[in-house]
A and B are shown apart, each in its own frame.
Chain A
Amino acid sequence: MTAGERQRTWFGLAFVSPWLLGVAVFTIYPVAASLYYSFCDYDVLSKPVWVGLLNYRDMASDTVFWKSVGNTLIFNLMALPLGLVSALALALLLNQPVRARGAFRAIYYLPSLVPAVASAMIWLWILNGRLGLLNAALGYLGIHHPPQWLADPAWTKPSLAIMSVWGCGNTVVIYLAALQGVPRSLLEAAMIDGASAWRRLVHVTLPAISPVIYFNLVIGIIGGLQVFVSSFIMFGGSGPDRSVLFYAVYLYQNAFEYRQMGYACAMAWMLCLLILALTWMASLSARRLVFYQGD
């Protein structure tokens, strides 16, 4: 290194030093420790004791663990497509030349700003089986034996999925920004060729925004697998027949309620693998379906 290069390196390191300190203390050390603890019996009060693969073996035979995996996957299979499609539909509507677009966009976006605890409280009240607004509305529509949203294990996951759609405003705004970037020339060319609105959507608009759909899907998978607050607040983390005992909730319970921190760490690493596996699957399908401009 020349003297100038050395000086520049020192400058660079000085500017990023807050992050270097942070990443060492709050990321690299915890990641390494977490991996180590996952092979230990650890309750935070006493020193960790090496137990090899015991935590991972326990997990394989822990029926509650598998229940939480199943719950989380089923919930995401409902909530993720529902959220992505609703958000896309709303964004497509907003992308039309309409008046008061800003007001509509604000209305759709606002719920996504609501603190998760408050939104859980609101929906706990709306979904109330006997007094809730939703069942009253269904009553007006002639459904006199509406679902017991919060008490029937078959309906708890759909309840949370409906609730999650209310918070899809973030995704709407991201889609809308992407839609406004779709080249007008392409749409006009398709129009001149006589393509119907549906065909323009399927063959021009969707391919053009496919990178953003893929982005939203991946973000949705990562967030969805860690769903915690709604179940924790509305169902005490378990619900009827443990139907909304989600992965992140069970992990939390192991760490801070049962003080099985080693087991919780092992679960966290399995969550990592699960996220990797699912995003990898998404990227496989993306290779065929996502179209990058300039490719």
Chain B
Amino acid sequence: MRLPAKLLTYALLAAGAAMFIMPFAWMVSTALKPLDQTLSQPPEWLARRYEAQLGGRQQEVRLGPLVTEPELWARVQGVARPVALPRDSVRDGSWRPASGLPVPVEVLKPIPASASAPWREISDLSGGLRDVVPIESISSHVALRWENFPRAIAAMRHFGLYLANTLFLCVLNVTGTVLSSALVAYGFSRLEWRWRNALFGLLLATMMIPFPVVMVPLYGLFRWLGWIGTLKPLWVGSFCASAFNVFLLRQFFRTIPKDLSEAARIDGCSELRIFWQIILPLCRPALVVVALFTFMGTWNDFLGPLIYLTDEHDFTLALGLRAMQTTGTGGIEWNYMMAASTLVILPVIALFLVAQRSFIEGIALTGSKA
């Protein structure tokens, strides 16, 4: 490639990568902020800790509005906290609002602020003490609020249970899917028998059925079995093989030479032993792919748990995260929300980094059947 083309390629790749990373970065950045800084405008990337002289001592403060023109810092009668008032609205010891009667005020100090030398209102963490100071007198340094993570866990109420439920489902679904799909794929690829192709056609056909078609009768079935409000609907089916994984594994099994099985058969090896001791070990990469996809599918599933789980003690992490959004009092506390999201995403990313090759090969495999 010529140099300009090469540079352009890298520039585009880097720009794209920056855009794809941005949401993650913003999530983590928000997760590490105190609540008031999540609302700051313009947004800042790094959480800071601000300190200033307040009430006679240097202490951590919260920032209030900026003052960019001369005003008066005054205590209005009947209002507990001092406020900044426009200069010309205060005359003869009383504040004359645009409408309404004048109110007596006690002027505490003038604020000689200007657009080039702004002041800022500050308050202590409880909001009880307030003052207005030149912005140069506020010191700040980066301070990430790691304590948001334990707090977000507490705000989710049953984080431990959600995690345990999710892991429980992941373990059962991965075990069930890998074992049953491999067994079924063996039957559809390594054995010659009547009806095999007809049944495999049926299996392919079932892959076309969208979930909403079976959603209602499945709900009715699980209700009849008394399984609504339990985790059972979310894992029992995995032991009955899933069409997609059977298809994937069958493609793999077919690549193993027939002679291998024949030789084993002549030596008196049973089909189950051929399956378990010869075919499965040879197909480990494919089994890993099925296990990974099943794990991801279970970890990320939302609709299934939403339909079948009723008690919050049975919730999965995905449902718990959503519950945190809907049960909050007042506005969403975005720092905790993002901390909780980070916690839900982190294991997935870790898994990807550990098993990157299998992921990429697996995805490429699903596309190569086109």
The interface of chain A, by Cβ under 8 A from chain B, is 1, 5, 8-9, 11-16, 18-23, 25-27, 29-31, 33-34, 37, 42, 44, 90, 93-94, 96-98, 102, 104-111, 113-119, 121-123, 125-126, 130-131, 133, 136, 139-140, 166, 169-170, 173-178, 197, 211-212, 214-216, 222, 225-226, 228-229, 233, 248, 251-252, 255-256, 261, 264-265, 267-269, 271-272, 275
Contact = CB atoms under 8 A, between A and B. Distances in A.
Contact of A255 (B9, B39, B193, B219): B219
Interface stretch (B14-22, B56-64, B128-136): B14-22
Interface string B6-28: 10011011001100111110110
Given A27-B209, A251-B212, A33 B220 contact: yes
Contacts of B213: 30-31, 34, 265, 268-269, 271-272
A125 B42 contact: no
A215 B370 contact: yes
A140 B43 CA distance: 11
B23 to A, nearest CB: 5
Contacts of B214: 26-27, 30-31, 34
Contacts of B23: 111, 119, 122-123, 126, 166
Given A23-B202, A166-B20, A16 B187 contact: yes
Contacts of A275: 210
Contact of B26 (A133, A212, A214): A133
A179 to B, nearest CB: 11
B127 to A, nearest CB: 20
B356 to A, nearest CB: 6
Contacts of B39: 131
Contacts, number: 274
Interface string B204-220: 00100111111111111
5 contacts: A13-B195, A30-B221, A118-B321, A178-B368, A271-B210
Nearest to B353: A106
A267 B212 CA distance: 9
A106 B191 contact: no
Contacts of A96: 1, 6, 9
B363 A115 contact: no
Contacts of A97: 1
Given A114-B345, A131-B38, A255 B240 contact: no
Given A22-B240, A29-B217, A110-B352, A133 B43 contact: yes
Given A22-B241, A34-B214, A42-B216, 17 more contacts: A8-B193, A15-B186, A18-B239, A19-B246, A21-B240, A22-B240, A31-B217, A33-B216, A44-B219, A107-B21, A115-B300, A115-B344, A125-B27, A173-B364, A226-B211, A255-B219, A268-B210
Contacts of B192: 8, 12
Nearest to B203: A19
A121 B341 contact: yes
Given A1-B194, A96-B1, A233 B20 contact: no
A135 to B, nearest CB: 10
A236 B203 CA distance: 36
B125 interface: no
Nearest to A171: B367
A131 B199 CA distance: 56
A255 B306 CA distance: 13
Interface of B: 1, 5-6, 9-10, 12-13, 16-17, 20-24, 26-27, 30, 38-39, 41-43, 180, 183-184, 186-188, 191-196, 199, 202-203, 206, 209-221, 223, 237, 239-241, 243, 246, 271, 275, 296, 299-300, 302-303, 307, 317-319, 321-322, 325, 334, 337-338, 341, 344-345, 348-349, 352-353, 356, 359-360, 363-364, 366-370
Contacts of A122: 23-24, 26-27, 338, 341
A11 B20 contact: no
A28 to B, nearest CB: 8
Given A8-B192, A30-B214, A173-B364, A125 B187 contact: no
A261 B43 contact: no
Nearest to B25: A133
A226 B208 CA distance: 13
Secondary structure of the A contact surface, majority rule: helix
Given A18-B184, A31-B209, A261 B216 contact: yes
Given A131-B39, A255-B216, A18 B183 contact: yes
Contacts of B202: 23
A229 B307 CA distance: 13
Nearest to A119: B23
A211 B370 contact: yes
Contacts of B240: 18-19, 21-23, 25-26
B216 A215 contact: no
B364 A174 contact: yes
B359 A109 contact: yes
B349 A113 contact: yes
Contacts of A248: 212
A229 B306 CA distance: 10
Contacts of B338: 121-122, 125
Nearest to B326: A236
Contacts of B368: 177-178
A169 B299 CA distance: 18
B367 A15 contact: no
A-B interface, 10 closest residue pairs, ranked by CB to CB distance from nearest: A22-B240, A15-B187, A174-B367, A215-B370, A12-B193, A177-B364, A30-B214, A33-B217, A30-B217, A16-B187
B366 A117 contact: no
Given A5-B194, A125-B338, A233-B325, A272 B16 contact: no
